[in-house]
Amino acid sequence: MRKGLLIIFIILPALSRAEDGYDLWLRYNKISNTAILSQYKKQINSPVVFGSTQTVAIIRTELGRAFSGLTGTPFRILSSIDKASSFIAGISTSSAILSSIVTKDELIRIGKEGFIIKTRPGKTIITANTEIGVMYGVFHFLRLMQTYQPITGLSIVSAPKLKLRLLNHWDNLNRTVERGYAGFSIWDWHKLPDFIDKRYVDYARANASIGINGTVLTNVNANAVILTKPYLEKVKALADLFRPYGIKVYLTARFSAPIEIGKLRTADPINDTVQLWWQQKVKEIYELIPDFGGFLVKANSEGQPGPQDYNRTHADGANMLADAVAPFNGIVMWRAFVYSQTSNDRFKQAYEEFKPLDGKFKKNVLVQVKNGPIDFQPREPFSPLFGAMKQTPLMMEFQLTQEYLGQGTHLVFEVPMFKEVLNTDTYSKGKGSTVAKVVDGSLDNYSLNGMAGVSNIGNDINWCGHPFAQANWYSLGRLCWDHGLSSAQIADEWIRQTFSNDKSFVETVKKIMLQSHETLVNYMTPLGLTHIMYNGHHYGPMPWGNTLNRPDWNPVYYHKADSIGIGFDRTPTGTNALAQYSSEVQRQYDDIDKCPEDYLLWFHHVPWKHKMKSGRTLWDELCYKYYTGVDSIKAIQQQWNKMNKYIDPERFGHVAQLLGIQVKDAIWWRNACLLYFQTFSKMPIPAQYEKPDKTLEYYQNIRILYAPGN
């Protein structure tokens, strides 16, 4: 009887909480390899962290939790050294032991946020210039432990490559999330500031663990109400909570706020009263939040108000806000995502509006540019603004949330896509002028630099909806810290921390992740096709779409399929958008026979019978790509199905079910697109492929009325 009870008590806690993914990559499960465990234990004896601030308290709590979890024995973190201490952390001036192991030069190199980890036999030392740096060092060390890496012989001197490492939430005040596929917003504005959801703390921890140091809380399609006193008090509550984690808050500024909440008659940036209004508003914000980061602004884009409403330029608008925040060291991130209908090619619009303004922005303004010229498509060439605005720091905007990447149901690891852009050479200052060097400021010598990811976080229990979408959040932080990290390295460490260190599991899942983006490109938009998603919500294929008011909202605008061929001619015989790139880049793309085929239809209208590198005609190649995409996702599904023995049934099953949807969707994409394009090519789908089992009409009649995030 007694024994039975005991068993129930032991089993119950394990059963009481099914694995739901809430713990992200911060799990600290007991290390299963005993050799590694005993080696680790020697390096973390009687751990001590010097200091007494809130950040130090956070470090101690995290370490206590981590060491106890990883070793399976309770740990208490000390505030002063004892004889047994083999783990010592703190800012370099807090103890002679710490200052003695670092050089002056190293301390200069790590700056305000970097860290140093050095180990000696039976000693681990983590230090930095600031407590935030120590915190980042501690998280790095825990990452090594969680991924079963050696923790002896370490000599790590690490500093972030980017200064601003930001999440951009497209969260509305009513808690809907624009392009959000993980439930509602985690910001419970109604209950703030009095009710502090535990998730805010876990959000801060997760971000701190990957080096993210800023968060824009609100949607770029902005609501001026966030700038009113009651809401600023809510923002303050979040800012106070995030501060000890090294995270600053930023807000989106609606350009017409002086009218909407200030009762002014204009928002003209040249108007004295308007300027004064913003100055006072900014002062009010900084009184509440002394380290407020600044504003992110979407202006004169997709119906948002902006300086052009008053015949002023983007620079006039940005500079007015920049002047208001400058006395408080705030910054303005002004978005370049614009495409009013003045150009014959949406591709060219941002460049046409912004390039002439180069050199006209105040020092504390960054222009935030999406990675590609159109809009977060599965594959885009880099935005020609990168490399073209040498006198303006350009901030990279990536989209973590998978608006055009299968949204909440498709498994896509985005790092290979991000790295493809970052590694591309702009040739703006000769060979080697990569997008990464433009963004990190090293090319044009900017100390103000940064990268933002449009958040994929919501109030779903596992934060991101798809269990693998967590990897994209994780990657943003890791790439901001060091964009030189490889996709494989980031995938590897995420898998080990999130799921398991088992070698077969890690290798299989890493392969899945590394193939996943190319797989999606193949079944959605191969060979440089773009923006052929369903109108509005963008889920599913609609290459035939041509009913929206603006031509450049319609898929047919982007693929231009006709009896001759398919693709958008952006060479001098077409819109000549190519001219916006440096001559070296132009040369890579302008020749239809030499253009990399991944980008072919971005730049050329290609005849159906054009001979591709494989020897196939364009039409056959298109079929080949679409069929390959479906085959690859089916293969991924099979590989995943063998992973059940390595992980918990909940997350295994969650992913397995979503892969089922993804396979169905991939077939839908393939069949719908090929049947539609076939009406132009008039060529058969090669005999070796299974024929689409439905008609084009069937696909054209599919209606998804209530896709999320729209």
- Give catalytic residue positions: 302, 375, 403
CB nearer ligand GCW, residue 101 or residue 451: 451
Q: In angstroms, rounded to a whole number, what is the distance separating the alpha carbons of residues 240 and 446?
A: 29
Least Cβ distance, residue 85 to ligand GCW (angstroms)? 50
CB nearer ligand GCW, residue 287 or residue 302: 302
Least Cβ distance, residue 172 to ligand GCW (angstroms)? 10
* Tokens 């590989």 found at: 639
CB nearer ligand GCW, residue 250 or residue 624: 250
From the list 539, 543, 534, the residue with the least C-alpha distance to 626 is 543
Q: Which residues contact 473 (CB under 8 A, 6 or more apart)?
A: 167, 206, 210, 400, 453, 455, 456, 457, 463, 464
CB nearer ligand GCW, residue 441 or residue 545: 545
Pairing of strands 155-158, 115-120: antiparallel
Least Cβ distance, residue 219 to ligand GCW (angstroms)? 6
Q: In angstroms, rounded to a whole number, what is the distance separating the alpha carbons of residues 412 and 18?
A: 25
Are the C-beta atoms of residues 452 and 398 closer than 8 Å to each other? yes
Are the C-beta atoms of residues 169 and 473 closer than 8 Å to each other? no
Q: In angstroms, rounded to a whole number, what is the distance separating the alpha carbons of residues 586 and 390?
A: 19
CB nearer ligand GCW, residue 252 or residue 470: 252
Least Cβ distance, residue 335 to ligand GCW (angstroms)? 7
Question: Does the footprint of ligand GCW cover residue 295 (CB under 6 A)?
Answer: no
For 439-537, where are the E strands, in sequence order?
A: 450-454
Name which position in 298, 379, 483, 531 contacts ligand GCW (CB under 6 A).
298
Q: In angstroms, rounded to a whole number, what is the distance separating the alpha carbons of residues 627 and 612?
A: 17
Q: In angstroms, rounded to a whole number, what is the distance separating the alpha carbons of residues 481 and 161?
A: 5
What's the full length of the chain, in residues? 710
Least Cβ distance, residue 667 to ligand GCW (angstroms)? 25
Least Cβ distance, residue 167 to ligand GCW (angstroms)? 14
Residue 481: both structure tokens together? 């810290």
Least Cβ distance, residue 404 to ligand GCW (angstroms)? 8
- Give buried/exposed letters for 612-634 (b at 16+ CB in 10 A, else e): beeeebbbbbbbbbbbbbbbbbb
Least Cβ distance, residue 251 to ligand GCW (angstroms)? 15
Burial of 386 (0-12, 13-18, 19+ CB in 10 A): buried
Give the binding-site size for ligand GCW (rule: CB under 6 A). Answer: 11
Binding flags for ligand GCW, 206-225, as an x/- string (CB under 6 A):
--------------xx----
Name the DSSP letter for residue 244: G
Map the footprint of ligand GCW across residues 165-184, applying CB under 6 A.
170, 178-179
CB nearer ligand GCW, residue 213 or residue 218: 218
State how far the alpha carbon of 114 is from the alpha carbons of 18, 127, 134, in Å: 37, 9, 8
Map the footprint of ligand GCW across residues 343-382, applying CB under 6 A.
375-376
CB nearer ligand GCW, residue 178 or residue 309: 178
Question: Does the footprint of ligand GCW cover residue 534 (CB under 6 A)?
Answer: no
CB nearer ligand GCW, residue 298 or residue 314: 298
- Cα 584 from chain centroid (whole Å): 29
> Cα 143–148–154 angle (5° rounding)?
70
Residue nearest to ligand GCW (CB): 375
From the list 163, 137, 663, the residue with the least C-alpha distance to 442 is 163
Question: Does the footprint of ligand GCW cover residue 337 (CB under 6 A)?
Answer: yes
- Cα 290 from chain centroid (whole Å): 27
Q: In angstroms, rounded to a whole number, what is the distance separating the alpha carbons of residues 324 and 310?
A: 19
CB nearer ligand GCW, residue 337 or residue 640: 337
Amino acid at residue number 314: H
From the list 279, 154, 164, the residue with the least C-alpha distance to 214 is 164
Name which position in 403, 414, 518, 665 contacts ligand GCW (CB under 6 A).
403
Least Cβ distance, residue 267 to ligand GCW (angstroms)? 19
Q: Which residues bind ligand GCW (CB under 6 A)?
A: 170, 178-179, 220-221, 298, 302, 337, 375-376, 403
